[in-house]
Amino acid sequence: MLIRRPPDIRYSEVTPKALYLRRREFIQTAAAATIGAAALAAWGGTAAHAQGSGRKLPNVRKSPFSTTEKLNSFDDVTGYNNFYEFGTEKDDPARNAHRLATSKWTVRVDGLVKTPKTYDLDEFIKPHALEERIYRLRCVEAWSMVVPWIGVPLADVIKRLEPQPGAKFVEFTTLLDMRQMPGQRVPVIEWPYVEGLRMDEAMHPLAILAVGLYGEVLPNQNGAPIRLVVPWKYGFKSIKSIVRIRFTDAQPRTAWAVSNPREYGFYSNVNPTVDHPRWSQATERRLGEFRRRKTEMFNGYGGQVAQLYAGMDLRRNY
């Protein structure tokens, strides 16, 4: 198969295959805009769409795990998002996510865990100290940004939940509510969105549950009120608006791996040597820059996480 490698990949050329194959249903429902309006190089962010929460998070400590790279702007981070529950265009989430009510949020914990329980969000998060972690975010469409997330280590939460010895994976599920999330009316993938990690990945100190950014409560379009951040994996792995965490002995059926297994595998580690079937992953564009930069293995976090995959074929386990 010939894979074209242009110097610049336009957003119109990176339509997810599952969406492309369902384009007739997409047109018939008229529930979201079509993909492909603008080139990634032309993106500049718009303050009109970059709406933050405006609610400050107190007592946030700095984390030694942070990168020292220059942050992307607030407009970049809050105005250019992948969140298909609110639409497939990058500015759809900022425009549509105001529909989401987060004030009485709960997270159900079940499966192979000592005490299955539904937690209020405050009860779930408050036992843990909040940290600001500046992480690189690399998306499969070959763009990246640097984001000042605020959250708690996922490992600390898991330890408190006390999974049973047989738990080998952690599965996460996003809210399913077509009234609040109009993008779910379009069968882009099998809803609700599901993601998962192997237990040792979930227990790695880099993985966090984020509840804020830029010192504020997480904006809706960025995954409010609670989302996963796994910085060495492609961005779609970091599931948003989590309502359920399940411990299991079987590998979860994750959303994109189910919808299009040829293009999106379970592990989803950033690997510049493995091309997406429709474009190269060897380079990326940092939002706000016009030059392309080389993509780093594990998104630059290889020194911390490479040992998790010792002995694995990372071309097959993509």
Per residue in 75-88, pLDDT (tens digit) is: 999 999 999 999 99
pLDDT per residue as tens digits for the range 119-136: 999 999 999 999 999 999
Neighbours of 270 (CB within 10 A): 26
pLDDT classification of 55: cutoffs 50, 70, 90: confident
The answer to whether the beta carbons of residues 246 and 173 sit under 8 Å apart is yes
Residue 135: name the closest of 85, 210, 186 by CA.
210
Length of the chain: 318
Question: What is the rounded average pLDDT of the residues 173-186?
Answer: 97
Neighbours of 85 (CB within 10 A): 29
pTM of the model: 0.84
For 268, how many CA atoms within 13 A lie in the half-sphere containing its CB?
Answer: 27
Residue 243 has pLDDT above 70, yes or no: yes
Separation of alpha carbons 255 and 261, rounded Å = 9
Token look-up 């610049």 returns: 8
Separation of alpha carbons 318 and 314, rounded Å = 6
Instruction: Give the right CATH number for 11-309 from 3.90.420.10, 3.40.50.2000, 3.40.50.300, 3.90.440.10.
Output: 3.90.420.10
CA angle 271, 276, 278 (to 5 degrees): 155
For 44, how many CA atoms within 13 A lie in the half-sphere containing its CB?
Answer: 4
Neighbours of 291 (CB within 10 A): 7
Residue 46 has pLDDT above 90, yes or no: no
Largest CA distance in the chain: 53
